Chains A and B, each alone.
Chain A
Amino acid sequence: MQVAVEGPWSPLLGRLTLDAIPYTNPILIFTFVIAATAGLVAVGSVLYFRKVGYIWREWLCSVDHKRIGVMYMILGLVMLFRGFIDGVMMRTQQAIAIGPNSPGYLGAAHGYLPPYHFDQIYSAHGTLMLIFAATPLLTGLGNIIVPLQIGARDMAFPYLNAVSLWLTVSGALLCMISLFVGEFSNATWVGLMPFSELPSNPGVGVDYWMWALQVSSIGTTFNAINIIATIVKMRAPGMGWFRVPVFTWVMMATSIIGLTAFPVLTAALCMLGLDRYVGTHFFTAGMGGNYMLYINLFWTWGHPEVYFLVLPAFGLISEIVATFSSKSLFGYPTMIAASMGIAGVGWVVWAHHFFTMGMGPDLIGFFSAATMIVGIPTGVKAFNWLFTMFRGRIVFTTPMLWAITAILLLLLGGITGMMLSASVVDYTVHDSVFVVAHFHCMVLVIGAGIFAAVTYWWPKLFGFKLNETLGQWFFWTFVAGSLLVFIPMFQAGLDGETRRLDYLFDTSLRPLMLLEVAGIGVYFISVFFFLAMVVVSLVKREPAGQDAWGTGRSLEWLTHTPVPFYNFAVTPQVHALDEMSWRKANGLEKTQPSTYVPIHMPSSTSLPFIIGMLSFVCTFSLVWRIWWLAGASLLAAILLVIIRSFDKNEGYVLSAENIAEMERKLHTVSLVAEQSKVLPVGGHAEAH
Chain B
Amino acid sequence: MASFTKASADTVLWNAGADAHDNISARTYGFWLYLLSDALIIAAIFATYAVLNNPMNAAGGPLGSQFLSASKGLLQTFIVLGSVLCYSLATVALKRGSKVGVSLGMIGAILLAVVFLGIGLGDLAALSAAGNGFARSGYLSCFFTLIVTHALHMGFGILWMLVMLVQVGVFGFTENVVARLLNLRMFWQFQASVWVVVYIYVYLFGGAH
Q: Residues of A with Cβ closer than 8 Å to B?
A: 153, 156-157, 160, 221, 224-226, 228-229, 232-234, 236-238, 259-264, 266-268, 270-271, 274-275, 278-282, 284, 286-290, 293, 297, 300, 328, 570-573, 575-577, 581-583, 585-586, 588, 591, 593, 595-597, 599-600, 642, 645-646, 648, 650, 688
Residues in B with CB closer than 8 Å to A260 are: 36-37, 40
Residues A264 and B21 in contact in the complex (CB < 8 Å), given A229-B26, A645-B163, A645-B167: no
Residue among B13, B48, B51, B135 making CB contact with A591, cutoff 8 Å: B13
What is the bound-complex CA distance between A570 and B17, given in angstroms? 9
B71 proximity list for chain A (CB < 8 A): none
Known contacts A228-B33, A233-B26, A280-B141; is A290 also within 8 Å of B1 by CB?
no
Q: How far is the CA of A222 from the CA of B6 in the complex (A)?
A: 41
Question: Do residues A586 and B48 form an inter-chain contact, with CB atoms below 8 A?
Answer: no
- Closest 8 pairs (CB-CB, A-B): A288-B138, A280-B141, A288-B59, A267-B44, A263-B40, A288-B57, A288-B137, A571-B18
Residues in B neighbouring A599, C-beta threshold 8 A: 19
Determine if B19 and A573 form an interchain contact, defined as CB atoms under 8 angstroms apart.
no
B12 touches A573 (CB 8 A): yes
Residues of B within 8 A of A300 (CB): 44
Give the CA-CA distance A271 to B136 in the complex, in Å. 15
Q: Which listed residue (B27, B41, B61, B144) contacts A267, Cβ 8 A?
A: B41
Chain B interfacial residues counted at CB < 8 A: 57
Instruction: From known contacts A274-B145, A288-B57, A573-B14, infer whether A225 and B37 are also in contact, taking CB-CB under 8 Å.
Output: yes
A-B contact pairs, 20 of them (CB 8 A): A156-B26, A260-B40, A267-B48, A270-B145, A280-B145, A282-B138, A282-B141, A284-B138, A287-B59, A288-B138, A289-B141, A300-B44, A575-B7, A576-B3, A577-B3, A585-B1, A597-B17, A597-B19, A645-B180, A646-B170
Of A234, A280, A575, chain B has the most CB atoms within 10 Å of the CB of A280
Interface residues of B in 21-70 (CB under 8 A from A): 21-22, 25-27, 29-30, 33-34, 36-38, 40-41, 43-45, 47-48, 51-52, 56-59, 61
CB-CB under 8 A from A288, the residues of chain B are 52, 56-59, 61, 137-139, 141
Q: Please give the residue numbers on chain B whose beta carbons come within 8 Å of chain A beta carbons, in ascending order.
A: 1, 3-7, 11-19, 21-22, 25-27, 29-30, 33-34, 36-38, 40-41, 43-45, 47-48, 51-52, 56-59, 61, 134-139, 141-142, 144-145, 163, 167, 170-171, 176, 180
CA distance A599 to B38 in the complex (A): 34
Chain A residues with CB under 8 Å of B138's CB are 280-282, 284, 287-290
Choice from B15, B21, B41, B139 contacting A233 with Cβ under 8 Å: B21
Q: Is the CB of B29 within 8 A of A233?
A: yes
| CA A302 to CA B32, docked complex, whole Å | 24
Q: A279 vs B133: C-alpha distance in the bound complex, in angstroms?
A: 10
Q: Are A259 and B57 in contact (CB under 8 A)?
A: no
Could you tell me the distance between the alpha carbons of A279 and B135 in the complex, rounded to whole angstroms?
Answer: 6
Q: How many angstroms between the C-alpha atoms of A575 and B142 in the bound complex? A: 54
With a cutoff of 8 Å between Cβ atoms, the chain B residues found around residue A583 in the complex are 7, 13
- Whether A225 contacts B3 by the Cβ 8 Å rule is no
Interfacial chain B residues near A234, Cβ < 8 Å: 21, 26
Inside 8 A of A642's CB, which chain B residues have their CB?
163
- Contact across chains for A263 and B29 when beta carbons are under 8 A apart: no
Residue of B nearest to A687 (CB): B1
Q: Given A228-B33, A279-B135, are A646 and B1 neighbors across the interface (CB < 8 Å)?
A: no
Knowing A226-B30, A264-B44, A268-B44, the reply to whether A595 touches B16 (Cβ < 8 A) is: yes
Contact among B30, B137, B139 for A225, CB-based, below 8 A: B30
CA distance in complex: A577, B2 (Å): 11
The chain A residue sitting closest to B34, CB to CB, is A225
Least Cβ–Cβ distance between A165 and chain B, in angstroms? 17
A236 partner, pick from B1, B3, B18, B180, beta carbons under 8 A: B18
For residue A393, give the distance in angstroms from its CB to the closest CB of chain B: 14
List A contacts of B137 (CB < 8 A): 281, 287-288
Pairwise interchain contact B16-A570, C-beta atoms closer than 8 A? yes
Q: List the B residue with the shortest CB-CB distance to A226.
A: B30
Contact pick for A586, options B7, B16, B29, CB 8 Å: B7
Query: Which of B15, B27, B134 touches A573 (beta carbons < 8 Å)?
Result: B15
In the complex, chain B residues whose CB is within 8 Å of the CB of A573: 12-15, 18
Q: How far is the CA of A261 from the CA of B37 in the complex (A)?
A: 8
Least Cβ–Cβ distance between B196 and chain A, in angstroms: 20
When C-beta atoms are compared, the residue in chain A nearest to B138 turns out to be: A288
Cβ B14 vs Cβ A572 within 8 A: yes
- Asked if A280 and B5 make an inter-chain contact with CB atoms under 8 angstroms apart, the answer reads no
Rounded to whole Å, the gap between the CB of B49 and the closest CB of chain A is: 11
Chain A residue numbers with a CB within 8 Å of B44 are 263-264, 267-268, 297, 300
Q: Which residue of B has the minimal Cβ distance to A595?
A: B16
Known: A281-B59, A288-B57. A266 touches B41 (CB 8 A): yes
Q: How far is the CB of B36 from chain A (nearest CB, A)?
A: 6
Given A288-B56, A293-B51, A571-B18, CB of A274 within 8 Å of CB of B36 = no
Q: Which residue of B lies closest to A261 (CB)?
A: B40
- B4 to A572, Cβ gap below 8 A? no
CA–CA, A474 to B26, complex, Å? 43
Of chain B, the residue at the smallest CB distance from A238 is: B15
Q: Are B167 and A575 in contact (CB under 8 A)?
A: no
* A514 CA / B126 CA spacing, docked (Å): 64
Chain B residues with Cβ below 8 Å from A232 are 29
Please report the C-alpha to C-alpha distance between residue A583 and residue B20 in the assembled complex, in whole angstroms.
Answer: 25
Q: Please give, as numbers and ranges, the residues of chain A lying within 8 Å of B41 by CB-CB distance.
A: 263-264, 266-267
Chain B's nearest CB lies how many Å from the CB of A243?
9
Q: By the criterion CB–CB under 8 Å, are B134 and A280 in contact?
A: yes
CA distance A261 to B41 in the complex (A): 9
Residue of A286, A287, A328, A650 contacting most chain B CB atoms (<10 Å): A287
Nearest B residue to A569 via CB reads B14
Asked if A593 and B14 make an inter-chain contact with CB atoms under 8 angstroms apart, the answer reads: yes
Question: Which of these, A290, A297, A577, A585, contacts B57 with CB under 8 Å?
Answer: A290
Q: Name the distance in Å between A110's Cβ and chain B's nearest Cβ.
A: 40
In contact, B52 and A293 (Cβ under 8 angstroms): yes
Q: State the CA gap A261–B56 with chains docked (Å).
A: 29
Given A263-B41, A290-B138, A576-B5, A571:B59 Cβ within 8 A: no
A303 to chain B, nearest CB (A): 15
Q: A236 — nearest CB in chain B belongs to which residue?
A: B18
Complex Cα gap A221–B14 (Å): 34
Closest chain A CB from B3 CB (angstroms): 6
Q: Which residues of A contact B136 (CB under 8 A)?
A: 287
Whole-angstrom CA separation of A593 from B12 in the bound complex: 10
Contact in complex: B14, A229 (CB < 8 Å): no
> How many Å from the CB of A479 to the closest CB on chain B?
33
Known A229-B29, A262-B37, A280-B141; contact A293-B15, beta-carbon cutoff 8 A:
no
In the complex, given contacts A280-B141, A573-B12, what are 20 additional A-B residue pairs having Cβ atoms less than 8 angstroms apart?
A: A225-B30, A229-B29, A229-B33, A233-B25, A234-B21, A236-B18, A260-B37, A263-B38, A264-B44, A270-B145, A278-B134, A281-B138, A282-B138, A282-B142, A288-B52, A290-B138, A293-B48, A571-B18, A576-B5, A583-B13
| A268 CB contacts on chain B under 8 angstroms | 44
**In the assembly, what is the distance between CA of A595 and CA of B17, in Å?**
12
Q: Considering residues A153, A224, A233, A268, which has the most beta carbons from chain B within 10 angstroms of its beta carbon?
A: A233
**Chain A min CB distance to B12 (Å):** 5
- Chain A residues in 8 Å Cβ range of B36: 259-260
B141, A576: Cβ atoms closer than 8 Å: no
Nearest residue, chain A, Cβ from B16: A597
